[in-house]
Amino acid sequence: MKTYLSDKNQTMTRRRVLAVFGGTGAIFLAGCGDRRGSPASLPVGSNPTSTPPTGARNGAAISTNTGSGTTLPIPPVLASRDQDGIKVFDLSLQQGQSHFLPDLTTATLGINGGYLGPTVRVNRGDAVMMNITNHIGESTTLHWHGLHVPAAMDGGPYQLIANNARWTPRFTIMQPAATLWYHPHTMGRTREQVLRGLAGMFIIDDNNPVAASFPNTYGVDDFPLILQDLSLSQSGQINTGGGSGRGGGARGGTTQTLVNGTVAPTLVTDQTRLRFRILNGSSQSFYALGFDDSRTFHQVATDGGLLPAAVPMTRLDIGPGERVEIVVDVTQTRGFTLQSFGSRRSNNDNNGNGRASVALLAITPTRSGAAQALPGKLAGIERLAVSAAGTTRELVLGGDNGAYTINGHMMSALSMPDMPGMADANNTFRVRLGDTELWNITNPTREFHAFHVHDVQFQILDRSARSLTPGEMGNKDTVVVAPGEKARIIMRFDDFADPTTPYMFHCHMLDHEDEGMMGQFVVVAAT
């Protein structure tokens, strides 16, 4: 039996998630920060191998029906240190413990804490170095999802960090303001490592003056929301057997939807306009976001940053790996709830069960204000023309009967070629630096897939099944392709050529990725 939060008779008592974001010292609560958050947001250099629970602070019974839960935890903004003009960010991958369910301790992983990681926040133009140490007890990687960086800095499966080893990629932030994220990309192990807790937000700021018209005070009126479905066994351990939406019920456990690592948290706010930067960090789940009173909100950004214009809406679909930013006005003091409505997408649950609605965040305003207009134009986005594409590639997804492939090819650790000469291996595309390419992604399977390309932000040209929505007119790095649909995407491969280090493209449903729905490309200097 599955237990969803929306079950009418499902009342759960739970403790605060003690270990989220590193325990008491690092929980950055709403309403107590400046724009960049606490300057000393994390105890950098603390014992990297354990995160002791800090003791129960809140034993209140919580009815998840009403959503009157724990205060929304906000990932702290990670302070950098300056090293010869380079911003250095220290990220320690470590083991921890969390309390998602009452009286149960869940073994988790975290970055600078016991579960999830801090928000890395940078400016366009910054030179940065990520100082990553791995103490999780096995090899991993750390990938900057959506970031335009050289392949050797990308944190894909080739940039393996052994246990107790360090990796220090350096790069310059070259792209517009956006809400990106970071997570492991370990061959065959991505799903488990992400769901055990290795994920965090990566926010880029720039000098687009439009930003000043949005709520932009982190933790006050500008909130990151990391959405994850987590399947827990009866003993409270994270099911790692595949399919976050399945397994829990079958084993007598439960599937919980977490927001920043907590179930149905609450936000009390005196702000009259709120911005949410929402990440779908789930393995398999799609969410149809909206508010319980079906109020109109505006989508202002997608994966790669601001949209050309704000889009008014009442529902917003978000697939695995995708991000959206929304702005919502608080015009009444009546409480309202961000929720996921039953998604129209079929494979939220691999058992074929429909997805129930889930309360995500209960918002309790203490003040209200008049609705305010948003700027008419947000970002100037150069639309890439089909005529600019020098190369067209066909990518056919395969996934029925459990064999997840692209063009019939299943990437696995065994088929992963050695670095020298890998560019000749099966399914490795050679892209010429500076070229614009058109990729036709065809999904003949019965499932949705969320296709992600590293290195670049792309644009969706069109879909075979429907017109594009205004919210799809921005820069994207992940595109959801429906069963039977073909999506055409176009992108230009500027800046970084490296004939021996591949970038990846893959389904961002982490089960599918781990099971082989992945390929690779190298960018080579034009001759």
- Which stretches of the chain bind Cu ion, using CB under 5 A? 449, 507, 509, 512
Report the nearest approach of Cu ion to the CB of residue 443 (Å). 9
For Cu ion, the closer of residues 448 and 493 by Cβ is: 448
Report the nearest approach of Cu ion to the CB of residue 284 (Å). 9
522: amino acid identity, one letter? V
Question: Quick count: other Cβ atoms within 10 Å of Cβ 424?
Answer: 8
Chain-centre distance of CA 301, in angstroms? 14
In angstroms, the CA 180 to CA 226 distance is 11
Q: Which two tokens stand for residue 143?
A: 């990938």
For Cu ion, the closer of residues 185 and 277 by Cβ is: 185
- Nearest Cα to Cα of residue 24 among 59, 44, 52: 52
Contact 424, 448 (CB under 8 A): no
For Cu ion, the closer of residues 273 and 506 by Cβ is: 506
In angstroms, the CA 207 to CA 77 distance is 19
Report the nearest approach of Cu ion to the CB of residue 350 (Å). 11
Report the nearest approach of Cu ion to the CB of residue 156 (Å). 18
For Cu ion, the closer of residues 134 and 478 by Cβ is: 478
In angstroms, the CA 40 to CA 26 distance is 9
Chain-centre distance of CA 384, in angstroms? 26
Q: What is the 3-state secondary structure (H, E, C) of 427-438?
A: CEEEEECCCEEE
How far, in Å, are 314, 387, 437, 457 from residue 506 at the CA level? 30, 26, 17, 14
Contact 30, 325 (CB under 8 A): no
For Cu ion, the closer of residues 441 and 509 by Cβ is: 509
In angstroms, the CA 488 to CA 468 distance is 11
Report the nearest approach of Cu ion to the CB of residue 405 (Å). 10
Report the nearest approach of Cu ion to the CB of residue 448 (Å). 7
Report the nearest approach of Cu ion to the CB of residue 314 (Å). 27
Report the nearest approach of Cu ion to the CB of residue 224 (Å). 25
Which residue has the CB atom at the shortest distance from Cu ion?
Answer: 507
For Cu ion, the closer of residues 196 and 449 by Cβ is: 449
Query: Following CA atoms 241, 199, 338, 262 in sequence, which dihedral angle do they give, to the nearest 10 degrees?
Result: 70
End-to-end CA distance of the chain: 60
For Cu ion, the closer of residues 121 and 506 by Cβ is: 506
For Cu ion, the closer of residues 328 and 479 by Cβ is: 479
DSSP 409-425: B---TTTPPPSTTGGGS
Residues in the chain, total: 527
In angstroms, the CA 258 to CA 134 distance is 25
Report the nearest approach of Cu ion to the CB of residue 35 (Å). 37
For Cu ion, the closer of residues 437 and 447 by Cβ is: 447
